[in-house]
Structure 1
Amino acid sequence: MLNLLAERIAAALAILGGIVLLGIVVLTCISIAGRALIPLDIGLGPIRGIYDMTEIGMAAAVFAFLPWTQLREAHARVDLFQTVYPKGMNLFLDLLFNAAMFVVALVGTYRLYLGMLDKLSFGETTLIAQIPVWQGYAASLLGGVAFVLVAAFCILRSLRRLAGYSDEGTRA
């Protein structure tokens, strides 16, 4: 049941991150086309604040992809000695890696939360579009919290694997 919940949270955020990226691409194309049409004087121009929107959208998308990456064990890693280590050692190293990623997720999300509170208290806005900066932090924080939850699940999954259970819950 936890596996299904983690999978759904990670998949939903990854899809949401993909939609945000597609939105950024569309807005960027519209802005570039508008900029190219300025000499024709037909009333179109670049989108005001496209850089601000791109910056916020990219940050939110990156954080939205982290839970999926963690769940699928797709973070960069060096498997140089994996073939020579016994299975139990590899499972222990996976547990160690997942615990380290949980700490990274927890610290990163906590710092993101503190940054959001700081930006909110000072009322900081982006330079061009005047978008409140805390909103970008809040959008990223959604992915950060999911990253923490999925990383915690991955520790449990690694413990189960180390105890000899498959991902489906049956004894391996």
Structure 2
Amino acid sequence: MHKLMMGLARTLAIVGGIVLSALILLTCVSILGRLLNGFFHGDFMESVAPGFASWAIGIGIGPVNGDFELVEAGVAFAIFCFLPLCQITAGHASVDILANSFPAVVNRFLRMVTEIVFAAVLLLIMWKLFDGMMSKRSYGETTFLLQFPIWWAYALSFVASLAAAIVGVYMAGVRIIEFLTGRVLVWDGTEASH
């Protein structure tokens, strides 16, 4: 089961990385287009090469239309894609100054409680994303510039949050079994100190 969950988490992280890389490229192209558009509209190019400046502007050199709408939707999706891997590898930030002095059984209990809370929060986020998606779909809301339905972005984020919730519930189950049996089923590096 752990192999399946790890495969799901890694696959989603790869998809999230690809989407995030594409968004970075989109942002760079848009910024470059905005700079070039300003340059071609400037007094210098209008006086030196007005024909070339008009031609460059005419072929569409400028910012990518709706770039911020795509970035907004894509970054939300990418974040939810990274959550399962972060959850299964215990990659969340933690402060264990005090916890390092606790006995192993107390730390196992704290890890179990933390995983249960994370799973509950992930389930809540998934549920609210589903509600938001259905609400946006029923109202037919679209983005301002590109006019694509907003519920599409919610749907993508919902699918990734569903995977995050599944992994979160799995990890909560693992930590409950670990607490009850005293055995470590999934190593994440924090067990070595005890």
Give the TM-score band, short-chain normalised.
over 0.9
For 1:111, the equivalent position in structure 2 comes to 128
Q: Give 1:165 shift.
A: 2.6
Alignment partner, residue 9 of structure 1: 8
Counterpart for residue 29 of structure 1: 28
After superposition, give the CA deviation of every residue in 1:48-107 in whole Å (9 maximum; x if it has no partner).
100100000011011111111111112222212122110011001100000000110111
Q: For residue 37 of structure 1, give the secondary structure of its aligned residue in structure 2.
A: helix
User: Which residue of structure 2 aligns with residue 100 of structure 1?
Assistant: 117
**Percent of residue pairs bearing the same amino acid type:** 35
RMSD between aligned residues: 1.5
Alignment of 1:153-168 (within 5 A): 153-162=170-179, 163-167=181-185
1:1-150 matches, within 5 Å, as 2-38=1-37, 39=40, 40-41=53-54, 42=56, 43=59, 44-150=61-167
What is the alpha-carbon distance in structure 1 between the residues aligned to residue 184 and residue 97 of structure 2? 24
Gaps of 5+ in 1: none
Instruction: Give CA deviations for 1:100-125 in whole Å, capped at 9, x if unaligned.
Output: 00110111100000000000000101
Letter in 2 for 1:5: L
TM-score, normalising length from structure 2? 0.82
Stretches of structure 2 that go unaligned for 5 or more consecutive residues are: 41-52, 188-194
Q: Which runs of 4+ in 1 moved over 4 A?
A: none
Q: Equivalent residue for 2:49?
A: none
SS at match of 1:46: coil
Q: How many residues matched? A: 168
| Cα separation, 2, equivalents of 1:92 and 1:104 | 18
In structure 2, C-alpha distance between the alignment counterparts of 1:129 and 1:51, rounded to whole Å: 10
The SS at the match of 1:125 is coil
Are the aligned partners of 2:174 and 2:186 in contact in 1 as well (CA < 8 Å)? Answer: no
